[in-house]
């Protein structure tokens, strides 16, 4: 029982890391219908900015997260204005794939050239770096923060997308952009704001998850498939689907590594194959 509880706890914390990073990609693919393979690159940028803010500027951890999110959004603006706007609404998936994978390699090259090939740790404050006693085991306090942030993020996004005027306008702009514009909705502003939201979520997740997914120049390529898998299993555009997929895959991966570590990520991808076979649109995907 203690082993099962330990597996479950570690699976939830890992799943929440996957969720906080991947939910922005789910929004891009499901709501904006843009296959953004550069999503991991923006998460990596957020991690680099947080590391710089903490180690060089000496700011507090919460301020470093805010600086990372805002800084990543600012850095992404030229990409959005010059490149992404060309693939909104009127571009096929292959064009999106080629463009965004090109952006990924550019960002990786710049990061490797300017910051070096080594990983960049994100130091935690004393309050988060120590253990927390749950009675049956000790767990890093930071992992409890990750779980809490994942739940808050899921709730906030659900309220934003399903319960606000912005969410209604976003769905209208994607489903029928011409009609939305004729009704006075500024679709370009909606697309830009949604892109900024997705990028900000990527940076936020990149910083929170750096303990489990270390920040280094090839981060974007190393975890690209993982983030895509979460979206595919959960169903693009579904917040609950992304959360369910993240927790399910986190459980499959953690259980496999506890009980049969020699198999590596075998159980993770076995869970992916079975889920996609049974649910071709993902667990809770939106039908288009």
Residue closest to 175 by CA, chosen among 190, 163, 164:
190
Residues of the chain with pLDDT > 70: what percent?
Answer: 97
Domains, the chain: 1-278 (1.10.3470)
- Contacts (Cβ under 8 Å, ≥6 apart) of 135: none
Tell me the pLDDT tens digit for each residue of 202-234.
999 999 999 889 999 899 999 998 999 999 898
Report residue 16 as tokens: 């929440």
pLDDT, residue 288, reads: 46
pLDDT, residue 285, reads: 60
Report residue 169 as tokens: 């306008």
Mean pLDDT, the chain, whole residue set: 88
Strand ranges (DSSP E) for 30-160? 131-133, 138-140
Burial class (CB in 10 A: 0-12, 13-18, 19+), 183: exposed
What is the C-alpha separation between 69 and 212, in angstroms, rounded?
Answer: 19
pLDDT tier for residue 286 given thresholds of 50, 70 and 90: low
| Segment 145-173 mean pLDDT | 90
Residue closest to 173 by CA, chosen among 82, 165, 240:
165
DSSP at 213: S
Helix (H, G, I), strand (E, B) or coil at 285: coil
- Contacts (Cβ under 8 Å, ≥6 apart) of 200: 24, 69, 70, 72, 73
Q: Would the pTM count as exceeding 0.95? A: no
């Amino acid at each position: 029982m203690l082993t099962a509880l330990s597996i479950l706890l570690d699976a939830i914390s890992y799943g929440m890391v996957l969720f906080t990073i991947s939910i922005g990609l789910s929004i891009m693919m499901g709501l904006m219908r843009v296959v953004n393979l550069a999503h991991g690159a923006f998460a990596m940028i957020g991690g680099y900015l947080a590391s710089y803010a903490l180690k060089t500027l000496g700011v507090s951890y919460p301020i470093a997260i805010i600086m990372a999110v805002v800084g990543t959004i600012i850095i992404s603006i030229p990409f959005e204005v010059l490149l992404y706007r060309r693939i909104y609404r009127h571009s096929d998936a292959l064009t999106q794939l080629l463009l965004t994978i090109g952006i990924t390699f550019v960002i990786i090259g710049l990061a490797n050239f300017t910051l070096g090939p080594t990983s960049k740790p994100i130091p935690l404050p004393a309050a988060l770096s120590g253990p927390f006693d749950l009675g049956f085991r000790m767990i890093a306090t930071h992992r409890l923060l990750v779980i809490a942030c994942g739940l808050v993020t899921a709730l906030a996004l659900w309220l934003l997308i399903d319960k606000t005027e912005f969410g209604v306008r976003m769905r209208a702009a994607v489903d029928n952009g011409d009609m939305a514009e004729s009704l006075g909705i500024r679709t370009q502003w909606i697309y830009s704001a949604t892109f900024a939201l997705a990028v900000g979520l990527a940076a936020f997740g990149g910083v929170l998850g750096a303990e489990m997914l270390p920040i280094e120049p090839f981060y974007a390529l190393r975890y690209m498939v993982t983030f895509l898998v979460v979206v595919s299993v959960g169903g693009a555009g579904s917040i609950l689907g992304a959360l369910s997929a993240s927790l399910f895959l986190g459980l499959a991966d953690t259980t496999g590594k506890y009980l049969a570590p020699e198999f590596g990520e075998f159980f993770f991808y076995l869970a992916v194959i079975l889920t996609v076979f049974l649910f071709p649109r993902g667990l809770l995907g939106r039908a288009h």
